[in-house]
Amino acid sequence: MRFGLEIPTCKPFDAVAFGLNAVDHLIVVPRFPDFNTKLEFSSHLRAPGGQCATAMVTLARLGLRTSYIGKVGSDETGEFQLKSISSEGVDVSKVMVAQGAESQLAFIIVDAPTGERTILWHRDDKLIIQPDEVDRNAVTAGRVLHLDGHNVAASIRAAEFARQAGVPTVLDIDNYYPGTHELLPLIDFLICSSDFSRRATGESDLRKGLIELADQTGSHFVAATVGREGVIGLLGGQWIESRGFEVECRDTTGAGDAFHGGFIYGLLAGMSVEETLRFANAVAALNCREVGARTSLPRLEEVEQLLKQQPKV
């Protein structure tokens, strides 16, 4: 099956992302702690993360030209974040620095036996991007615009610019924020977390929720990632499912961000829907090999090797 949506060419970048970046403190524990107890942790790591920033680093490692647009604080953490992105070859010339603000920070508890994680995060209000700060030329400089659903008003403005310029939009979303209902109809490829459709529609059945999302938004493609099980999508009234890959999982942090990067790669490469979802699953799985949102983001040859090792079933 083909996506059937025209992708522009002759752009400065293959993909542009407008959204979050973060610095994560990952704490690995032998088991998830009970309330009001003490537990010795196994290791601690400070590492860069954030949905949109990580998706662009994913694509850069796969060999594409990418640009990240967001906002950081004027602190050492912000400097660390920008260096982590630019060192991967991602353009950060349009990143804004909020003077006197603290950059977004997260503390992530990683359960060693399963690799599953719990995230505690904080974002300074000074990091909110306002609609009048959205640069039309910058957000339409890629063949695809990637969004994460935060900064809703600014995301709406960016998506409007993209729609006017004929640039397709991809959305990575897990929470339903005030104003999200105005953003969703501007999205061409809506790929959410498994619980988002319930939050957005009130429908507990995932398939029914995705159908309702498709009807409400008019998005070209609607899908939900379902962890180790992979992804389930809906295109033109037809269901497409793609199972996840088996890897030794140390940490699932950033797996969804990597999936979206892999999805955009397949979309731009002209892969079929089935090939794109399988490719994205492989990228997400490989990113779970080490602790940290970007620590084990794969190169293209690693993805291709995993695709060969674990053939379609």
Looking up residue 132, the CATH number of its domain turns out to be: 3.40.1190.20
- b/e map 235-247, b = 16+ CB within 10 Å: beeeebebbbbeb
Average pLDDT over residues 3-17: 96
Query: Taking the C-alpha atoms of 89, 95, 100 and 106 in order, what is their torsion angle to the nearest 10 degrees?
Result: -60
Six token digits for residue 12 = 């400065």
pLDDT recorded at residue 311 = 78
Tell me, yes or no, whether 313 lies in a domain: no
State the Cα–Cα distance between residues 34 and 41, nearest whole angstrom. Answer: 13
The pTM (predicted TM-score) of the whole model is 0.95
* Cα angle for residues 294, 297, 300 (degrees, 5° grid): 155
Q: Kind and range of the H or E element at 208?
A: helix 206-217
CA distance 89 to 95: 14
Task: Specify if 4 maps to a domain.
Answer: no
Tell me, yes or no, whether 2 lies in a domain. no
Residue 286 lies in a domain: yes
Contact (CB, 8 A) for 156 and 182: yes
Find where tokens 């979206």 sit.
260
Tokens at residue 199, please? 């939050």
Longest CA–CA separation in the chain, Å: 57
Give the pair of three-digit tokens for residue 182.
Answer: 């105005």
State the average pLDDT for the chain: 96
Q: In this predicted model, what pLDDT tens digit does every residue of 91-134 receive, in sequence order?
A: 999 999 999 999 999 999 999 999 999 999 999 999 999 999 99
Q: Which two tokens stand for residue 179?
A: 């104003």
Half-sphere exposure of 187 (CA within 13 A, CB side): 28
d(CA 23, CA 121): 10
Question: Would 8 be classed as within a structural domain?
Answer: no
Better pLDDT: 228 or 270: 270
What are the tens digits of pLDDT across the range 155-189? 999 999 999 999 999 999 999 999 999 999 999 99
Can you give the three-state secondary structure of 282-307, one letter per residue? HHHHHCCCCCCCCCCCCCHHHHHHHH
Q: Are 281 and 262 in contact (CB under 8 A)?
A: yes
The pLDDT assigned to 149 comes to: 87
Domain assignment present for residue 86? The answer is yes
User: Is 1 among the domain residues?
Assistant: no
Task: Give, in degrees to the nearest 5, the angle at Cα 129 between 23 and 166.
Answer: 105
pLDDT at 293 over 80: yes
- Rounded to whole angstroms, how far apart are CA atoms 180 and 170? 14
**Angle of helix 51-61 versus helix 255-269 axis, rounded to 10:** 50
At 313 the pLDDT is: 58
| Number of domains observed in the structure of the chain | 1
What distance lies between CA 93 and its chain's CA centroid? 20
Which amino acid is it at 68?
Answer: Y
**Residue 5 located in a structural domain:** no
Instruction: Return phi, psi of residue 183, to 5°.
Output: -80, -45
Task: Using a pLDDT cut of 90, give the percent of the chain over it.
Answer: 97
Domain encompassing residue 100: 13-308
Mean pLDDT in residue range 48-57: 97
pLDDT above 70 (res 230)? yes
> 312 falls in which pLDDT band (50, 70, 90)?
confident
* Mean of pLDDT values over 257-261: 98
Structure tokens at 44: 């601690």
Residue 310 confidence class, pLDDT cut points 50, 70, 90: confident
